[in-house]
A and B are shown apart, each in its own frame.
Chain A
């Protein structure tokens, strides 16, 4: 398996623009997680899915953030409108069970100007 795949790897956009981050989890993994990592706050869980259903979105900062998982092999994290404080590295991870080993993608480095 190729591991967790994320795209794009880098994104530079202007404040107010819509940003869509994409993730393909490892085949067979029932859980998918979206994290945000910054120097100040470390790795923060935004939302996670089980069998394509959002289970806990309490980490989503505000209504500007939304996430979907239309099928077992694809998820998106959307920020609309984006703001400079959203600049961070966004990771997607998948696992067989929610608290066991998680496999991370390479991340998307987002810069909002």
Chain B
């Protein structure tokens, strides 16, 4: 069955540094991958979508890469700020499984220390 792993439950970094979060998957080939941000007490909010034929996508201070050979996506936040502190979830479509839904990782809780 499909498996999605995000590198760690929690990540602490100093303000101004680049945060790098990892999403690894096994046992299937998604057509695209999404990253969401979730703040405490709120629902996930969409950030970026990257397709399998795209190596990299950027949005302001965010950058996502998608390596279908390594079965991995990296999510970078440059010049991190305390306001970036949140839980970040990766989500993948079901690939060739025939299912029409997203599968979510368990998330990485990022804390940016002032």
A-B contact pairs, 24 of them (CB 8 A): A35-B104, A42-B89, A42-B104, A42-B105, A42-B106, A43-B89, A56-B99, A56-B101, A91-B44, A93-B43, A99-B32, A99-B94, A99-B102, A101-B46, A102-B44, A102-B91, A103-B46, A104-B45, A105-B43, A106-B41, A106-B42, A106-B43, A107-B41, A107-B42
CA distance A91 to B102 in the complex (A): 14
Chain B residue at minimal CB-CB distance from A39 = B106
Q: Which residues of B contact A102 (CB under 8 A)?
A: 44, 46, 91, 102
A54 within 8 Å of B by Cβ?
no
**Are the CB atoms of A91 and B43 closer together than 8 Å?**
yes
Binding site for A on B (CB under 8 A): 31-32, 34, 41-46, 49, 89, 91, 93-94, 99-107
CA distance A107 to B33 in the complex (A): 23
Q: Which residues of A contact B89 (CB under 8 A)?
A: 42-43
Q: Which residues of A contact B102 (CB under 8 A)?
A: 45, 99, 102
CA distance A48 to B99 in the complex (A): 11
Binding site for B on A (CB under 8 A): 4, 33, 35, 41-43, 45, 48, 50, 55-56, 91, 93, 98-107
Chain B residue at minimal CB-CB distance from A100 = B49
Distance in Å from the Cβ of B104 to the closest Cβ of chain A? Answer: 4
Distance in Å from the Cβ of B63 to the closest Cβ of chain A? Answer: 18
Other-chain contact of A43, B32, B44, B45 (Cβ < 8 Å) = B44
Beyond A55-B100, A98-B101, is A104–B93 a contact (Cβ under 8 Å)? no
Closest 4 A/B residue pairs (Cβ): A104-B43, A42-B106, A98-B100, A99-B93
Among B93, B104, B107, find the residue whose CB has the most chain A CB atoms closer than 10 A: B104
**Are the CB atoms of A33 and B45 closer together than 8 Å?**
no
Q: Which residues of A contact B34 (CB under 8 A)?
A: 101
Q: Which residues of A contact B104 (CB under 8 A)?
A: 35, 42-43
CA distance A58 to B34 in the complex (A): 23
Distance in Å from the Cβ of B50 to the closest Cβ of chain A? Answer: 12
Beyond A99-B31, A99-B93, A101-B34, is A45–B101 a contact (Cβ under 8 Å)? yes
